[in-house]
Structure 1
Amino acid sequence: MTRILRIITSADPRTGGPIEGARQVAAIWARQGHRQDLLTLDPPDERHLPDYPGTITALGPARGGGPLRRYRYAPAMVPWLRANAQRYDAVIVSGLWRYGARGAAQALAGGPVPYFVFPHGMLDPWFRRTAPLKHLAKQASWWWAEAPLLRNARAVLFTSEEERLRAHRAFWPYSLHSAVVNYGTADLPHGATDEAAFRQSLPALGAHPFLLFLGRIHSKKGCDLLVRAFVALANREPALHLVVAGPDQAQLVPTLQQIASDAGIAARVHFPGMLAGAQKAGALRAASAFVLPSHQENFGIAVAEALAAGTPVLVSDQVAIWREVVADGAGFAASDTQAGTIDLIARFLACTPAQREAMRVQARACFTTRFHIDRAADSLRSLIEQSIP
C-alpha cells in the first residue's frame, strides 16, 4: 500500500477544483488499496468532506480577519509535519502563496520523504499583468518560501504543457524539475432524472434551452464578458436562456443581474447558486453548451465535467486545455475579450443541429481519451512510485 499525504489550504468544496481533484484521486486510490490523507489549513473546528476515504487533519487558524489568518498561518504545521511526514511514502503540496508552502519548505526540504508540488496555475503570468504590486509581494515570498519549496521538490507537477510553458521564469530565480501529469475528473453518474431535478430546482427556466456557466462567480472567470455577450446575441435565439451557477464569494451577481435587467432580458438570465449532485449533473447534460471565457485557468475541472456530460465547451484561449478541446472538435476557443466572447458564442449559435450533435459526440470522446480521473490517478501514482526509494 502506498501512503500519500496531501497538503492543501482547504478541504472546503467551495474553494474550487484542487480539493475536488484531490478527493476524486483519493477515492480511486482507496479502491486500489492505497491511501491519501489530507493536511489542511482549515480552522480545527471546521469539518468538510465527511465521506473522505482518509484522515483529514486541520491545523489552520481560527476564523476571522487579519493578514495572518488570510495567509493561513498555522504554527502547529511544521512540528506536526516533522513528527508525522515519515509515516508517508510521499507528500503532495497543492498550491502556493499560503503558509502551506512555507511550512512544507521548512519541514520537508532536504528531508528523507520525497515531495511533489502542484502549482495549480498560480505561476501564470496573468497575475503579474493584472496585479503588479501583488506580484512584487509574491516575489518577496518567492525568495523566502516558494523558491526553496519548488527547488527541492522531486517534481513540480503541471496539468498541461500550456500551464508549464506559461509558468516558465514567472519569478526569479526559477529553478525546478517539472513534469506534466494527466489531470481530470470523474465520469458523471447516469441518473435518468437528473435533468428533471435540475429544471425543478430552477422553475423560471422551464423547458428552455440554455448556455451554462458553472464555477466560482468571479471577475477572473469572465462572468461579466459572458453576460454582456449573451445580451449582445440574445435576439439570435429568443428561446435561449443563460444559467450562471456557482458560489458568489466576490458579490458579483448584483452587477451581472443589473446588466441583464438594463438590456430587458433579466427573465432569461438565472443565478441558481452552487449546484451539486443530481442538479449539477442535470445542468451539465441539459445545457446546449458550457461557456468559460476565463482570463486565467490552468485546467478547468468544470470544463472536463462538461466534456464528460457530452456537452460542447466554449472557452477562452486562457483556459490551458483549449488546444485539446479545439483539436478534438469538442468546442470552440477565442480570446478573453468582449469581442472574443461574443464571437465564441456566435460561432456556436451559427452551428446547425447536426453540427451541434456531432460536437456533443466529440466532447464525450475528448473526455474519455484525455481527462478521465482514472487516467489522472494512475499517472500521478506511477510518477510518485517511481520516486520512492
Structure 2
Amino acid sequence: MKILHIIPSVASVRGGPSQAVPETVKALRNQGIAAEIATTNDNGNDLLDVPLNQCTEYQEVPIWFFSRFSPEVNSIREFAFSSQLTSWLWQNAANYDLLHIHAIFSYTSTVAMAIARFKGIPYILSPLGQLCEWSLQQSARKKQIYLQLIEKPNLNHSQYIHFTSELEQQEASRLNLISPSFILPHGTAIPNNIPNARHRLRQHLKLPTDEPIILFLSRLHPKKGLDYLIPALEKLSDYRFTLVLAGAGSPEYETEVKSLLVSHGIQNRTHFTGFVKGEMKDLLMQGADLFTLTSYSENFGVAVMEALAAGVPVVVTPGVAVADIVAQDHLGYVAELDVAAIAASIQQALDHPQEIKEMGDRARQFILENYTWDSVASKLISVYQDIIESQIFLLSANINDK
C-alpha cells in the first residue's frame, strides 16, 4: 500500500495540524505502510531551508518539498501556490494507491484534489477545521465563492472526509456534503519525562519555587481567545501566578497581544517566550500547573492533548473540540467563552492544588490508553484498505462488464 499525504506546509509555525501529518506518516511507516508527504517549503513569512524537487528525510519521514510562490502580497503568499508541486503531482500522483489531502482553501490542496479527480485517483480529505462555522465566517464572502465554485465539487468527489471530532463533523454537516465521513482524532506524542521539571522551569524563569504557572502554548492568532483569557486573569489580581505565553503569530497580532497585557495590568506577571519546540516546549508543558486554551474554535486541540500527555490539567472553552473529553473524564475545566467564567475556572484550579495534581495524573494515563499515534495509524490503515479494496472491486466489475 502506497499513500501520499499532501499538505500546504509542515512548518512548525503553522500550528498543530502541520505537525500532526508527519507524526501520522511516521506511525503509518512503523506499521509497514509506504507513506510519504508532498508539500511546499512554506515557513510562514519565510521559507524552509530544505532540498527541493526530491525526496528528503525530514522530521524522520520522507517528504517531497516544492518551491512556494512568495510575493510581497501576504494573501497571495498564504495561498501556497507552487507550479513545481503541480507538475510533480500531475506526473506522479498515479504512482500512489491513495492520496490523503489535508486542508482546503489552499492552492496545494485544491490542485491535488483536481488532479486526483481528473486522473481517477481515490483521495481522502482532512479539512483541518476549515469547514467549522468560525473558520467559514473569516473572509466569509471569498470563502463562500471559493467553496461553491471549486471546493464543494472536490469535497463531494472524495472517498471520505476525515474529521477529528464530532463537533467538527456536526458543523460541517450544515454544508450538505454528499461524501461519507469518519471521525478519527489526532494522536498525541508522549514526551520524555524531564526530572524536576517544575523546579527547573521556575529556575529558568527566575521565579519562586512555589509560583503557580499558567501556560498558553499555541499559535498566536485571534481565534485563540486571548482577548478573553487576558482580561480573565486581570480579575485574579489577588492571586499569585505567572502567565507564560509561548507562541508566535503575525507581528501585528503579537503587538495587539502585548497591548492587551499592558491595558489589563498583567504585563509584569507574563513571560512572552515566542515560538518554542523540543526540550523547551517539553519543559514548559511538564513544569506548568495549568494549561489554557480559550479558543473561539478548534477542530481538535493538539496542544491541549499534548498538555494532558504531559500530566497538566487544562482550562478550555466549548469551541475547543476536545472540551467534551476534558469534561467527561475530569481532566480539567470547561468554561464558557466569557471573561467571568474563565476567571472562575482558573480560580478553582488555583484554590485546589491537590485536585489539580490528581487531574494531571489522570490526564497522562488517559492519553496513554486512548490517544497514541500507533492506535490512530491502525484505524487509518483500515480506512485506506477499505477504499483501495473497493476501488479494485469497481475496476474488476467494469472490466467484466466490457
Fold-level similarity (TM above 0.5): yes
Tell me if structure 2 keeps the 8 A contact 1:121–1:298: yes
Please, which of 226, 229, 239 is the counterpart of residue 232 of structure 2? 229
Which residue matches 2:376? 376
My pick for the range that moved more, 37-46 or 9-18, is 37-46
> For residue 35 of structure 1, what is the aligned residue in structure 2?
34
2:49 corresponds in structure 1 to 47
Partner of 1:177: 180
Q: Which amino acid aligns with 1:295?
A: Y
Aligned residue type for 2:158 = A
CA distance in 2, matches of 1:64, 1:195: 43
Cα distance in 2 between the residues matched to 1:242 and 1:175: 45
Q: Deviations over 1:158-204 (max 9, x none)?
A: 0011110011124xx63221111132221111232655664454336
Q: What amino acid maps onto 2:278 in structure 1?
A: G
- What is the identity, as a one-letter code, of the residue corresponding to 1:22? V
Partner of 1:13: 12
Query: Aligned partners of 1:263, 1:33: CA distance in 2, in Å?
Result: 53
The count of residues paired between Structure 1 and Structure 2 equals: 380
Is this contact kept in 1: 2:66–2:85, CA < 8 A? no
> Does the CA contact (< 8 Å) of 1:194 and 1:278 recur in 2?
no
Cα deviation, residue 207, structure 1: 5.5
- Report the alpha carbon displacement of residue 30 of structure 1 after superposing the two structures with TM: 2.6
What is the rounded CA distance, in whole Å, between the counterparts of 2:224 and 2:129 in structure 1?
13
Q: CA deviation at 1:332?
A: 1.0
**Who is 2:195 aligned against?**
192
Confirm or deny: 8 A CA contact 2:311 2:360 kept in the other structure: yes
Task: Give the equivalent residue in structure 1 for 2:268.
Answer: 267
Aligned-partner Cα distance in 2 for 1:205–1:353: 16
Counterpart position of 2:364: 364
- Structure 2 counterparts to residues 1-389 of structure 1, below 5 A: 2-42=1-41, 46-47=48-49, 50-62=58-70, 64-65=72-73, 67-109=75-117, 111-129=119-137, 131=138, 134-170=139-175, 174-192=177-195, 194-195=197-198, 198-203=201-206, 208-235=211-238, 237-238=239-240, 240-350=241-351, 352-389=352-389
CA contact (8 A) 1:202 1:272 kept: no
Range with greater deviation from structure 2 (118-127 or 257-266)? 257-266
Instruction: Indicate the SS of the match to 2:252.
Output: coil
The alpha-carbon distance between structure 1 residues 67 and 361, as it changes in their structure 2 partners (threshold 3 A), is closer
Distance 1:290 1:66, change over 3 A: closer
Give the 3-state SS of the residue equivalent to 2:158 in structure 1.
Answer: coil
- In structure 2, the gaps of 5 or more residues are 51-56, 390-402
- The alignment partner of 2:119 has SS state of coil
Q: Distance in 2 between matches of 1:301 and 1:272?
A: 19
For residues 206-226 of structure 1, the C-alpha deviation after alignment (integer angstroms, 9 at most, x for no partner) is 662211100011221011211
Q: CA deviation at 1:21?
A: 0.5
**Aligned 8 A contact 1:42 1:61 in 2:** no
Distance 1:158 1:224 in 2: 28
CA positional deviation for 1:250: 4.9
Aligned residue identity for 1:142: L
Contact 1:78 1:106 in 2 (8 A): no
Amino acid at match of 1:62: S
Local SS of the residue matching 1:208: coil
Compute the TM-score of the two structures, normalised by the length of structure 1. Answer: 0.90
SS in 2 for 1:55: strand
Deviation of 1:343 after TM superposition, in Å, equals 2.7
Which region of structure 1 is more displaced relative to structure 2, 326-335 or 141-150?
A: 141-150
Q: Which amino acid aligns with 2:49?
A: R
Question: After the TM superposition, which of the residue ranges 260-269 and 330-339 deviates more from structure 2?
Answer: 260-269
Q: Identity across aligned pairs (percent)?
A: 28
Cα distance change on mapping 1:199 and 1:23 into 2, 3 Å:
farther
Deviation digits for residues 104-131 of structure 1 (CA, Å, limit 9, x no counterpart)? 23200153432110011101111344x3
Structure 1 residue ranges without an equivalent (≥5): none
Question: Given residue 326 of structure 1, which amino acid in structure 2 is its aligned partner?
Answer: A
